[in-house]
């Protein structure tokens, strides 16, 4: 051996994985910045723009108007009440499904999901057919109910937010530690005391989360309030009338920011709560066996039957109304409303299908890319991306939509050419629903053991090969589920796109609103039925594909 050792040859990395990781991260971050951060900043910016410089002028003007305080009270009251009702009703419904032996559980579960398959305002439509001036109760059963106004909005929002509350509460009630119940029984506690001290106590986080979710959905919803609200105005409808009616963008922006506060706050609280929820059940917990109890089952069965009755009556009355000549004067059967010879004909429906398909396809790519760069291709950008990716959940659809108008309508924006086109609507749908899509994908991705990545790396696989040969084949059922989620949301969301619609870019959910607004209630009903039909068809189709491929345990309805 030579006296002087030759310095060791350094085997340096080839360019490749790091470049790809960094490139993709920058791309994801850039898209989030342009299509999420910039619109939100645009709305904030506009709210401070008084026309004569920047300041709090708009806020002072808006808040000194007593009307705005009336709207704030209205919004809080109606959302608070409907959140309380939805959570209370959903709690016992979920209890019936998780903790008793009622029959036909899967059917019971499906029926209360129906509101998710149609634009929120189908609740208002159905309620008007049932309880409105020309509704069944007033016209044919001799009642004298005035549904327009506070109570109409409260009931419609209760129905609209019920499934969301039910999903959360059902998950909370699904897990239970039998040892607690056995302990309580051994100590001689009576059923009601057990319910109060054990069941309620162990689901309190779920209840709180459900309350905040229902509240924030109600306060940001605009479809129901505008259709059934009558003279009862809320913040969400006020933005609409300020922007669309009076073109006062700065006041719209101010109200948008005001609306942002409760929505963002409740999202933050929900996140806090859901972190606590996890530690409730440990690996030592014993699963609860439901004891037979006929009296209890009958009681809850009757309750569930009543709820199902309500949840079936709304869509059924809408279907029925879409099939009669002229509600309520000429109730003879006809298919004429499905000819869609008004307005743009069937174009909005086809537009919606196209938009929803594109949203599903590109939305899945966007959230998958975001999950990959935050979990697998880690770079210094991973932290900021994962923060931004979950942020859209705190922004109400209307606010983000208005932000898009303010950001992309401006000629100084190089992407101004997107304004008034379908691609911008698709982008809005993608980034409006980005947080949930990202969370579903990231959770699934985390469950794929990282040793698969390591095994692939050690065998010489590049990051991209690992992605396409290992990760994607394992993740595709989840991604298909996320695609369905995006599709569903793009079919039914109304408030997000209401400001982006032009005569050339009409979508179905907005058509329902415009038809209902014009008094063409039967055609509006037909449109709603079509939307619901398409969503259900898509769910069945994907469910079949998943079943045929043998993929189990993919949740499609969220």
Phi-psi region of 553 (alpha: psi -120 to 50; beta: other; left: phi over 0): left
CB of 472 to another protein, least distance (A): 9
- Pick 377 or 432: Cβ nearer another protein: 377
Output the CA torsion sign for 223, 227, 228, 234. Answer: positive
Which residue number, 14 or 278, has a Cβ lying nearer to another protein?
A: 14
Nearer to another protein, 171 or 474 (CB): 474
Binding piece for another protein, criterion CB under 8 A, among 12-20, 143-151, 332-340, 398-406 = 12-20
* Cβ contacts of 547 within 8 Å, gap of 6 or more: none
**Alpha carbon distances (Å) from 350 to 355, 506, 509, 532:** 8, 10, 12, 14
Using rule CB under 8 A, residue 379 touches another protein? no
Rank residues 10 and 295 by Cβ distance to another protein and give the closer one.
10
Structure tokens at 476: 């595709």
The answer to whether 2 contacts another protein (rule: CB under 8 A) is no
Binds another protein (CB under 8 A): choice among 2, 3, 14, 144? 14
Return the beta strands (E) in 252-374 as ranges. 324-326, 330-333
Binding status of residue 9 toward another protein by CB under 8 A: yes
Q: What is the three-class DSSP state of 54?
A: strand
Partners of 177 in the β-ladder: 287
As a whole number of Å, the CA-based R_g of the chain is: 26
Question: How far, in Å, CA of 309 to CA of 316, rounded?
Answer: 10
Binding mask 262-301 for another protein (x = CB under 8 A): ----------------------------------------
Cα gap 325→331, rounded to integer Å = 6
Retrieve residue 492's tokens: 């039914």
Q: Which two tokens stand for residue 339?
A: 């000819």
Judged by CB under 8 A, the residue of 8, 51, 66, 553 near another protein is 8
Q: What's the rounded Cα separation, in Å, for the pair 528 and 251?
A: 32
| 522 lies in the binding site for another protein (CB under 8 A) | no
Task: Give the residue among 384, 517, 501, 362 at the shortest CA–CA distance from 433.
Answer: 362
550 touching another protein, by CB under 8 A: no
178 binds another protein, rule: CB under 8 A = no
Regarding 549 and contact with another protein (CB under 8 A), the answer is no
CB of 457 to another protein, least distance (A): 5
Nearest distance in Å: CB 466, another protein = 9
CB of 550: closest distance to another protein in angstroms? 12
Q: Which is nearer to another protein, 238 or 453 (CB)?
A: 453
**2, 6, 261, 411: residue in contact with another protein (rule CB under 8 A):** 6
By the rule CB under 8 A, 552 interacts with another protein: no
What are the tokens at 158? Answer: 């209760």
- Identify whether the C-beta of residue 510 lies closer than 8 Å to the C-beta of residue 348: yes
Give the footprint of another protein on residues 421-480 (CB under 8 A). 449, 451-452, 454-462, 465, 469-470, 473-474
Choose between 194 and 464: whose C-beta lies nearer to another protein: 464
Q: Kindly state the smallest distance separating residue 465's Cβ from another protein, in Å.
A: 6
For another protein, the closer of residues 12 and 187 by Cβ is 12
Residues 6+ apart with CB under 8 A from 131: 137, 138, 145, 147, 152
Residues that bind another protein (CB under 8 A): 6, 8-14, 17, 449, 451-452, 454-462, 465, 469-470, 473-474
């Amino acid at each position: 051996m030579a006296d002087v050792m030759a310095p060791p040859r350094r085997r340096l990395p080839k360019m490749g994985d790091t470049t790809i990781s960094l490139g993709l991260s920058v791309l994801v971050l850039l898209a989030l910045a342009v299509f999420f951060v910039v619109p939100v900043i645009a709305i904030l910016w506009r709210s401070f723009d008084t026309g004569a410089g920047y300041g709090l002028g708009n806020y002072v003007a808006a808040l000194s108007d007593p009307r705005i305080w009336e709207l704030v009270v209205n919004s809080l009251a109606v959302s608070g009440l409907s959140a309380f009702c939805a959570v209370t009703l959903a709690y016992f419904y979920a209890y019936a499904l998780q903790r008793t032996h009622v029959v036909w559980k899967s059917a019971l579960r499906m029926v209360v999901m129906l509101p998710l398959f149609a634009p929120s305002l189908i609740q208002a439509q159905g309620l008007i057919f049932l309880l409105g001036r020309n509704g069944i109760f007033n016209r044919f059963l001799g009642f004298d109910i005035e549904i327009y106004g506070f109570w109409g909005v409260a009931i419609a929002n209760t129905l609209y937010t019920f499934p969301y509350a039910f999903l959360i509460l059902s998950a909370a009630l699904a897990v239970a530690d039998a040892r607690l119940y056995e302990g309580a029984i051994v100590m001689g506690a009576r059923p009601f005391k057990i319910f109060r001290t054990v069941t309620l106590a162990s689901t309190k986080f779920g209840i709180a989360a459900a309350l905040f979710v229902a509240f924030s959905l109600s306060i940001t919803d605009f479809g129901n309030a505008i259709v059934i609200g009558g003279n009862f105005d809320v913040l969400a409808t006020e933005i609409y009338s300020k922007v669309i009616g009076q073109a006062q963008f700065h006041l719209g922006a101010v109200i948008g920011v005001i609306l942002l506060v409760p929505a963002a706050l409740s999202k933050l609280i929900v996140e806090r709560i859901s972190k606590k929820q996890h530690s409730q059940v440990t690996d030592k917990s014993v699963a609860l066996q439901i004891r037979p109890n006929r009296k209890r089952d009958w009681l809850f069965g009757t309750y569930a039957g009543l709820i199902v009755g309500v949840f079936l009556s709304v869509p059924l009355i809408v279907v029925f109304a879409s099939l009669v000549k002229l509600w309520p004067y000429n109730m003879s059967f006809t298919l004429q409303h499905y000819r869609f010879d008004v307005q743009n004909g069937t174009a909005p429906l086809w537009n919606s299908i196209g938009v929803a398909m594109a949203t599903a396809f590109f939305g899945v790519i966007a959230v998958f890319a975001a999950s990959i760069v935050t979990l697998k291709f880690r770079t210094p950008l991973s932290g900021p991306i994962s923060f931004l990716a979950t942020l859209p959940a705190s922004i109400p659809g209307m606010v983000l939509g208005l932000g898009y108008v303010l950001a992309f309508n401006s000629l100084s924006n190089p992407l101004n050419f997107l304004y008034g086109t379908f691609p911008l609507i698709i982008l809005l749908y993608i980034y409006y629903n980005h947080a949930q899509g990202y969370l579903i994908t990231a959770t699934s991705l985390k469950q794929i053991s990282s040793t698969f990545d390591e095994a692939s790396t050690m065998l010489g696989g590049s990051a991209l090969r690992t992605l396409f040969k290992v990760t994607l084949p394992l993740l595709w059922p989840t991604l298909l589920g996320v695609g369905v989620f995006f599709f569903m949301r793009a079919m039914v969301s109304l408030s997000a796109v209401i400001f982006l619609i032009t005569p050339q870019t009409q979508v179905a959910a907005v058509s329902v609103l415009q038809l209902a607004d014009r008094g063409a209630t039967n055609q509006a009903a037909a449109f709603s039925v079509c939307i619901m039909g398409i969503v259900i068809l898509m769910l069945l189709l994907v469910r079949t594909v998943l079943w045929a491929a043998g993929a189990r345990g993919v949740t499609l309805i969220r």
